[in-house]
Amino acid sequence: MINVTDLTKSFGKNEVLKGISTTVEKGEVVALIGPSGSGKSTFLRCLNLLETPTSGTITIDGTAITDPKTDIARVRQRIGMVFQHFHLFPHMTVLDNITFAPTQVKGIPLAEAQARAKELLARVGLSDKADSFPSRLSGGQKQRVAIARSLAMEPDIMLFDEPTSALDPEMVKEVLNVIRGLAGGGMTMLIVTHEMKFAREAADTIYFMDDGRLVERTKPEQFFAKPQSDRAARFLEQVL
Amino acid sequence: MNRKKLLPIFFSLIAAVVLLLGIGPALPSGTAGLSAVSAEGEDAAPAAGEKKKLVMGTSPDYPPYENVDAKNNGEIVGMDIDIAKYITGRLGYELEIASMDFNGLIAALQTGRVDFVMSAMSATDERRQNVDFSDIYYVARNTIVSKKDAPLATLESLSGKRVGAQLGSTQDLFAETIEGAELKKLNKIPDLIQELNSGRIDAAIVEDAVAIEMTSANPGLVMNFLPAESDENGYAIAFPKNSPIVGDFNGILAEMNENGKMDDIVQTWFPDGEEKEARGLNIDFSVLKGYIPFILKGVYVTLLFTLVSALFGLIWGSILSLFKISGIKPLEWFATAYTSVFRGTPLLVQLTLIYYATPQLIHYEIPALMAAGLAFGLNSAAYLSETIRGGIMAVDKGQREAAIALGVPYRKMMVRIIFPQALRNILPALVNECVALLKESSLVSVIGVTELMRRADVVRSIEFRSFEVLLFVAAIYYVLVLILTSFARMLERRLRRSD
């Protein structure tokens, strides 16, 4: 479904991604782990072109999104993204946050979009918050709304950029449960995370990144039992 | 992709460039080219003849020659007006009166805004270089007005004194010939009175009719007539160079002098021995009696003007701020240059240029209120574009990323996501700008827009009293600002309900 070939990304002289190639299958759940500064987030942000790759190609369902002729906005509609700091629109209610893109981008009638938004809110357990403003919500609630907002565009792929890193510990679980639910539903997902337990349980594949390279790409049970590289072993030693 | 969407913005850019280029060449053409101006006069006159309507320019702050009848319907009345009505009536024209500042009258003739000027204007040699004059219809005597406790009666006594005169008036020219006097030029007669009363000048040179009114309204002042000057200082009707109607006017003037009509009119406006009731020295708000409805009508004009220029400034300022963050170099340069020019030159200069240059450049008779709205809008946009840019930059970068990730197009993202948040950030600054606009609107009285300040000036010129009127309009401005501020507070509360 997603094909990445020789992807590099530099910010000025600083080469953050040093040639990444991989394939993600439909329905596959990938957990990206690795030390900070290893390029996990940059890799994720390249997949919906929030960062423009310096070289290499990314193909989604046969469409080369790195080709300048491709309509990026259409591609982005198929890719949902959830950020570490939620980025809800603070001047809109929860319901308006969720219906904004479907009505404004896809032209779905408001009533239909609202009905769908309410279903999504029920799914993330926030039916009672439809008319609240984001400032009234806890971090965990905000992140669940952000997930619902992305899902409202009915994407084929979901990208999560450290979705629980900005949360108080007691709120991590409610968010992870929602993501776990999505994984069970067959969504293709890439998740940058520091939650090792979650990565082990929910992911189909672990990508271990270090210094701009995809060092290891294995099943979680194998990765956590016996990592192939020294660097991964050292990393696991530090975080577990 | 994003560049295509900026296409409509390009069009407004082009329009703005055209406007800016248009103002540029106005600078030389405003001062030079007598031949071009006179050619224009020739064009305008026959056209005016066809429509059988003549527009007369006058500065209605000089009773009894011309002033606004503020106590009644606000019409312009006076001796000059009666003479003009008589002449145009006899020649079969319809008369339309255009009110403007005395200093702008000659420019109005040259730009064809008016067909002739009657405003107690003396036919001086300087003026003759730019306009044509009719025969003299009235000769006024120069008069020294001074304080009762330090009276000055003769020209000789003025040596070494500070002497005031109205800028651009005949007395201004006359005062320059007084030996040893230090001359101070002021815009309006009421300003002269204030300067006299506060002791900043020792005497004012005005003409007889004005002196009579000044002294009767201000018992602390006395007047001394000077011997009548030669005929060359008499009042005459001014026309554009080579205007074909001068001869017709002269014919009727001669007829009026013969049949006694002129004397009748002069008698109506210069009644013998009339003495106004002397008032107390201090502030007396009963002066305002009868003028209040007239002044209050200015509130509507002031508010309309503020609203139009604020809206225009906000929209154009938003577009400029988008230029500045567009990442497209020519747009960025344009917006930066625009801001630099409009912030770096005085508003009053911009206003005057736009008002007088537009008719000459694009042959559009821009109404004073529109010229004022345009000038203030263009100026305020320069300031607002920086404020708005700051507001946009202050919106969290993540907002943009979230919108992009959802596939929201650039324009919708700016309008629906970024702007509302930026607006909330800059609301206090916007309110400041509106308050400033509201108060600065008093500047537009110079081009004759009859807003609050202009109306106050009118009343000052009739009553020859200043403090009462000025305090009254100051209070009105203050109340307007209070109302505006409380509206803004309501709006801010509404915008902050999401906090």
Contacts of A101 in chain B (CB under 8 A): 406-408
Token pair 């002033």 in the structure block, residue? B67
> Could you tell me the CA-to-CA distances from B133 to A40, A85, B123 in Å, in that order?
86, 78, 6
Give the separation between CA B145 and CA B432, rounded to whole angstroms: 43
The percent of residues in chain B predicted with pLDDT above 70, rounded, is 86
Q: What is the per-residue pLDDT across B373-419, written as a single tens digit (0 to 9) for each?
A: 999 999 999 999 999 999 999 999 999 999 999 999 989 999 999 99
Query: What is the chain A residue with the closest CA to B1?
Result: A71
8 Å CB contact of B407 and A76: yes
CATH match of B142-228 with 3.40.190.10 = yes
pLDDT of residue B277: 45
Token pair 């069970």 in the structure block, residue? A184
8 Å CB contact of A81 and B405: yes
Look at A179-183, B152-156, B347-351 and tell me which has the smallest mean pLDDT.
B152-156
Q: Residues B447-456: what's their mean pLDDT?
A: 84
Give the separation between CA A104 and CA A82, rounded to whole angstroms: 19
Give the separation between CA B118 and CA B84, rounded to whole angstroms: 8
Q: Are B317 and B388 in contact (CB under 8 A)?
A: yes
Regarding the domain delimited by A25-51+65-78+156-240, which CATH topology (the fold level of the hierarchy) does it fall under? Rossmann fold (3.40.50)
Chain B contact for A101 (CB, 8 A cutoff): yes
**B205 in helix, strand or coil?**
strand
Between A and B, how many CB-CB pairs are < 8 A? 68
Residue A101 has pLDDT above 60, yes or no: yes
ipTM above 0.90, yes or no: yes
**B296 in helix, strand or coil?**
helix
Give the one of A74, A90, A105 whose C-beta lies nearest to B406's C-beta.
Answer: A105
Q: How far apart are the first and last CA of chain A?
A: 32
Q: Residues B61-89: what's their mean pLDDT?
A: 87
List of residues 6+ apart from A107 with CB closer than 8 A: none
**A21 in helix, strand or coil?**
strand
Look at B30-44, B200-214, B332-346 and tell me which has the smallest mean pLDDT.
B30-44
Look at B64-73, B85-94, B108-117 and tell me which has the smallest mean pLDDT.
B64-73
From chain B residues 421-460, the ones with a CB under 8 A of any chain A CB are 421, 424
> Could you tell me the CA-to-CA distances from B43 to A9, B106, B128, B174, B454 in Å, in that order?
69, 17, 20, 35, 33
DSSP string, B438-494: HHHGGGGGGGT--SHHHHHHHHHHHH---HHHHHHHHHHHHHHHHHHHHHHHHHHHH
What are A137's two structure tokens?
Answer: 């919500």
Q: Are A158 and A126 in contact (CB under 8 A)?
A: no
> What's the burial of B429, exposed, middle or buried (CB within 10 Å: 0-12/13-18/19+)?
middle
CATH of domain B33-139+233-279: 3.40.190.10
8 Å CB contact of A83 and B402: yes
Chain A contact for B1 (CB, 8 A cutoff): yes
Identical topology for domains B33-139+233-279 and B290-498? no
**B7: confidence class by pLDDT, cuts 50, 70, 90:** very low
Residue B48 has pLDDT above 80, yes or no: no
Q: How far is A238 from chain B (nearest CA, A)?
A: 31
pTM of the model: 0.67
Residue B273 has pLDDT above 50, yes or no: no
B120, B276, B137: which is closest to B212 by C-alpha? B276
Residue A228 has pLDDT above 80, yes or no: yes
Token pair 């565009």 in the structure block, residue? A153
Q: H or E segment at B94? A: strand B94-99
Selected residue of B1, B406, B410 to mutate for chain A interface (largest A Cβ count, 10 A): B406
**Torsion-angle region of residue B139: left (phi > 0), alpha (psi -120 to 50) or beta?**
beta
Q: Are B353 and B26 in contact (CB under 8 A)?
A: yes
Regarding the domain delimited by B290-498, which CATH topology (the fold level of the hierarchy) does it fall under? MetI-like fold (1.10.3720)
Give the separation between CA A26 and CA A19, rounded to whole angstroms: 23
Selected residue of A67, A76, A91, A160 to mutate for chain B interface (largest B Cβ count, 10 A): A91
Beta strand spans in chain A (E): 2-11, 14-24, 29-33, 55-60, 63-64, 79-82, 157-161, 188-192, 205-210, 213-218
Task: Enumerate the domain spans of chain B.
Answer: 33-139+233-279, 142-228, 290-498
Look at A148-157, B75-84, B248-257, B363-372 and tell me which has the smallest mean pLDDT.
B363-372
Tabulate helix, strand, coil % of chain A (nearest 5): 40, 25, 35
What are B445's two structure tokens?
Answer: 């009285």
Which DSSP symbol is given to B282? S
**B84: confidence class by pLDDT, cuts 50, 70, 90:** very high
> Could you tell me the CA-to-CA distances from B444 to A16, B102, B372, B407, B447 in Å, in that order?
59, 14, 6, 47, 6
Q: How far is A233 from chain B (nearest CA, A)?
A: 34
Selected residue of A65, A89, A154 to mutate for chain B interface (largest B Cβ count, 10 A): A89
Position B88: which residue type?
A: T
Query: What is the chain B residue with the closest CA to A70?
Result: B1
B140, B171, B127: which is closest to B65 by C-alpha? B140
Query: What is the chain A residue with the closest CA to B496?
Result: A91
Q: Residues B244-265: what's their mean pLDDT?
A: 90
Look at B1-15, B344-358, B390-404 and tell me which has the smallest mean pLDDT.
B1-15
B384, B375, B387, B303: which is closest to B346 by C-alpha? B375
Parts of chain A belonging to CATH 3.40.50.300 = 25-51+65-78+156-240
pLDDT of residue B50: 53
Give the one of B407, B421, B424 whose C-beta lies nearest to A105's C-beta.
Answer: B407
Residue A190 has pLDDT above 80, yes or no: yes
**Torsion-angle region of residue B369: left (phi > 0), alpha (psi -120 to 50) or beta?**
alpha
Mean of the per-residue pLDDT values of chain B: 82
Q: What is the per-residue pLDDT across B215-225, written as a single tens digit (0 to 9) for each?
A: 877 888 888 88
Give the separation between CA A136 and CA A235, rounded to whole angstroms: 38
Chain A contact for B493 (CB, 8 A cutoff): no
Look at A21-25, A208-212, B96-100 and tell me which has the smallest mean pLDDT.
B96-100
Position B213: which residue type?
A: E
Residue B336 has pLDDT above 90, yes or no: yes
Q: H or E segment at B108? A: helix B105-110
Q: Are A202 and A29 in contact (CB under 8 A)?
A: yes
**B231: confidence class by pLDDT, cuts 50, 70, 90:** low
| Residue/partner pairs of B490-497 with CB below 8 Å, 24 or more apart | B491/B427, B492/B424, B492/B427, B492/B428, B495/A91, B495/B420, B495/B423, B495/B424, B495/B427, B496/B424, B497/A133
From chain A residues 127-186, the ones with a CB under 8 A of any chain B CB are 133-135, 146, 149-150, 153
Give the separation between CA B165 and CA B97, rounded to whole angstroms: 26
pLDDT of residue B271: 61
From chain A residues 46-65, the ones with a CB under 8 A of any chain B CB are 48, 50
From chain B residues 45-84, the ones with a CB under 8 A of any chain A CB are none
8 Å CB contact of B406 and A76: yes
Q: Are B136 and B235 in contact (CB under 8 A)?
A: yes
pLDDT of residue A21: 94
